[in-house]
């Protein structure tokens, strides 16, 4: 019998890019040929929590576009790409029937569901070595933990400590492979319907009218930086509510890894050299540090971020059980017009501004007194930019059971007056939908 060809695999998850892709970079240094792989996990598309799906139509469509673009960019580098739909363990077993898998290169994960999936693969392929890398952070975990024994309870303390001798590595460049490696296994044809959704058009008033994928991420970055220089005024516009340009809109591409935080940092530095640094250019990095902070909190506290009492086990929160109030919040029928407009925006577009998210989450926890985990689960289904660490970290923070346990409550009427004094935003979503 002919011996199976030895190969390595680069298993793509939330690192759907070819620039600054650490697993691709590492696999390229090895002598063995490798294939790139993305699996649409059949089980994931079936799962529900608190009655909500783990992924909704907005993120599913964005993901499909991201995978399509990844296929194109990998082909340009002569890297074969296999996309499959099914049970992850079984797909790895099937690949291993054709090839002899030696190593799997992938990103390092630290939340339970992702770890369980990986353990499943190890159980059927015990001989295979995993080469895992942290690829989601701006700052390297080693750099952070050299300066901090543990992640401080306050973001400001974290920022002050890591900003001293700030070190961000340069983005990695992936070279074109010399020869294309022909795959013996065909990819599956996957569309929205296969993932359990009907096709839909982007809402004409969406603040996020963009496509998924690495190329779209870079197009947006060039637009926001060089082309319009909107970055120069980011600090003053970032609390906006209407249109695409009040903030960077990088979140959805960052969440599935179409662009890395390291690449964005590098581009901010180039922009500063060319056009000058100011408070706004710094502020974008400041926000990326918030993103990192929630990831480090999750890295330290692991599954505690999903617990009812979050990181404050002695607080013992009590919630109301009130399906009617929940339904009113979801469908934008609460007593607050500002909350309603934001919730309708989310329902129609899969996006909501940061200002909106803070208000509706605070209203959910503090006014309606509902279980924050249900609100977080609804966001998980709906948000086009859902990221486990940012979502659960922000919800914990607003429920008062995060790393920083101070009680925060937003007065939504005051906030509406301050940020939507001409009612442009409320009218947009309450009158026109
Ligand atoms: P910009 O203002 O342009 O900021 C630039 C980048 O900084 C963002 O893309 C994001 O990566 C990061 N960032 C900014 N603010 C925050 C923040 N508060 N926490 C973490 N990172 C931040 N962001 C997600 O990416 N995914 C989520 O699932 C998510 N859930 C949230 C849930 C709640 C309850 C709240 C209050 C916030 C949540 N955020 C989440 C953070 C924030 O609202 C979004 O990142 C931001 O609105 C995205 O728009 P932008 O890219 O234009 O942001």
Query: Ligand 1 mean position to 298 CA, how many Å?
Result: 16
User: Is residue 225 lining ligand 1, measured as CB closer than 6 Å?
Assistant: no
Cβ–ligand 1 distance for 370 under 6 Å, the answer: no
Atom of ligand 1 nearest to the CA of 385: 26
Q: Are 54 and 48 in contact (CB under 8 A)?
A: yes
Q: Could you tell me the distance, in angstroms and rounded to a whole number, from the CA of residue 251 to the centre of ligand 1?
A: 6
Phi and psi torsions of 178, nearest 5°: -70, -45
Tell me which residue has its CA closest to atom 10 in ligand 1: 251
Distance from Cα 424 to the centre of ligand 1, integer Å: 22
Which of 296, 354, 396, 398 has most ligand 1 atoms within 8 Å of CB, for mutation? Answer: 354
| Best residue among 58, 297, 394 to mutate for probing ligand 1, ranked by most atoms within 8 Å of CB | 394
Ligand 1 centroid–CA 414 distance in Å is: 22
Q: Is the CB of 136 under 6 A from ligand 1?
A: no
Q: Say what the pLDDT of residue 100 is.
A: 97
390 Cα to the center of ligand 1, angstroms: 7
Query: Quick one: how far is CA 343 from the chain centroid?
Result: 20
Which residue puts its alpha carbon closest to atom 44 of ligand 1? 354
Is residue 69 within 6 Å of ligand 1 at its C-beta?
Answer: no
Name the β-bridge partners of 364: none
Atom of ligand 1 at shortest range from CA of 255: 25
Bridge pairing between strands 52-53 and 48-49? antiparallel
Q: What is the pLDDT along the chain (433 residues), one digit of tens a residue?
A: 678 999 999 999 999 999 999 999 999 999 999 999 999 999 999 999 999 999 999 999 999 999 999 999 999 999 999 999 999 999 999 999 999 999 999 999 888 888 889 999 999 999 999 999 999 999 999 999 888 888 998 999 999 999 887 889 999 999 999 877 789 899 999 999 999 999 999 999 999 999 999 999 999 999 999 999 999 999 999 999 999 999 999 999 999 999 999 999 999 999 999 999 999 999 999 999 999 999 999 999 999 999 999 999 888 888 999 999 999 999 999 999 999 999 999 999 999 999 999 999 999 999 999 999 999 999 999 999 999 999 999 999 999 998 877 777 999 999 999 999 999 999 999 986 6
Q: Would you call 349 exposed, middle or buried from its count of C-beta atoms within 10 A (0-12, 13-18, 19+)? A: buried
The reported pLDDT for the residue numbered 433 is 61
Which atom of ligand 1 is nearest the CA belonging to 360? 34
Which residue from 241, 385, 403 has its CB within 8 A of the most atoms of ligand 1, so it is best to mutate?
385
Q: Largest Cα–Cα distance of the chain, in whole Å?
A: 76
Phi, psi (rounded to 5 degrees) for 172: -85, 145
Looking at ligand 1, which residue's alpha carbon is closest to its atom 3?
Answer: 248
């Amino acid at each position: 019998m002919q011996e199976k060809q030895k190969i390595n695999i680069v298993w793509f998850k939330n690192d759907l890019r070819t620039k600054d892709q650490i697993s691709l970079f590492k696999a390229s240094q090895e002598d063995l040929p490798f294939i790139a792989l993305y699996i649409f996990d059949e089980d994931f598309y079936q799962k529900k929590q608190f009655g909500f799906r783990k992924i909704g139509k907005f993120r599913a469509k964005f993901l499909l576009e991201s995978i399509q673009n990844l296929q194109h960019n990998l082909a340009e580098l002569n890297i074969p790409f296999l996309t499959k739909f099914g049970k992850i363990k079984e797909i790895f077993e099937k690949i291993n029937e054709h090839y002899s898998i030696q190593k799997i290169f992938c990103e390092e994960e630290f939340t339970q569901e992702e770890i369980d999936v990986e353990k499943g693969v190890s159980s059927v392929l015990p001989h295979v070595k995993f080469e895992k890398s942290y690829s989601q952070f701006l700052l390297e975990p080693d750099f952070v933990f050299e300066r901090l024994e543990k992640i401080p309870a306050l973001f400001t303390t974290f920022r002050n400590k890591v900003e001293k001798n700030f070190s961000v590595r340069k983005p990695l460049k992936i070279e074109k492979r010399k020869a294309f490696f022909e795959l013996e296994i065909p990819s599956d044809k996957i569309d929205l319907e296969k993932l359990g959704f009907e096709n839909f058009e982007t809402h004409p008033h969406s603040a996020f009218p963009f496509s998924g994928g690495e190329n779209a991420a870079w197009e947006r970055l060039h637009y926001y930086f060089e082309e319009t220089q909107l970055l120069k005024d980011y600090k003053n516009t970032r609390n906006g509510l209407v249109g695409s340009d009040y903030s960077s809109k990088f979140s959805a591409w960052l969440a599935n890894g179409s662009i890395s935080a390291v690449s964005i940092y590098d581009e901010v530095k180039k922009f500063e050299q060319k056009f000058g640094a100011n408070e706004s250019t710094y502020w974008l990095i400041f926000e990326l540090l918030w993103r990192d902070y929630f990831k480090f909190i999750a890295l330290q506290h692991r599954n505690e971020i999903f617990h009812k009492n979050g990181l404050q086990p002695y607080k013992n929160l009590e919630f109301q059980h009130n399906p009617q109030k929940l339904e009113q919040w979801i469908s934008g029928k609460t007593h607050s017009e500002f909350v309603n407009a934001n919730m309708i925006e989310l329902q129609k577009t899969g996006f909501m501004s940061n200002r909106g998210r803070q208000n509706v989450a605070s209203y959910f926890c503090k006014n309606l007194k509902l279980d924050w985990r249900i609100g977080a689960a609804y966001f998980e289904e709906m948000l086009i930019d859902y990221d486990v660490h940012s979502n659960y970290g922000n919800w914990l923070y607003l429920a008062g059971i995060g790393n920083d346990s101070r009680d925060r409550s937003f007065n939504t009427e005051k906030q509406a007056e301050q940020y939507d004094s001409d009612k442009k935003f409320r009218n947009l979503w309450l009158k026109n939908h």
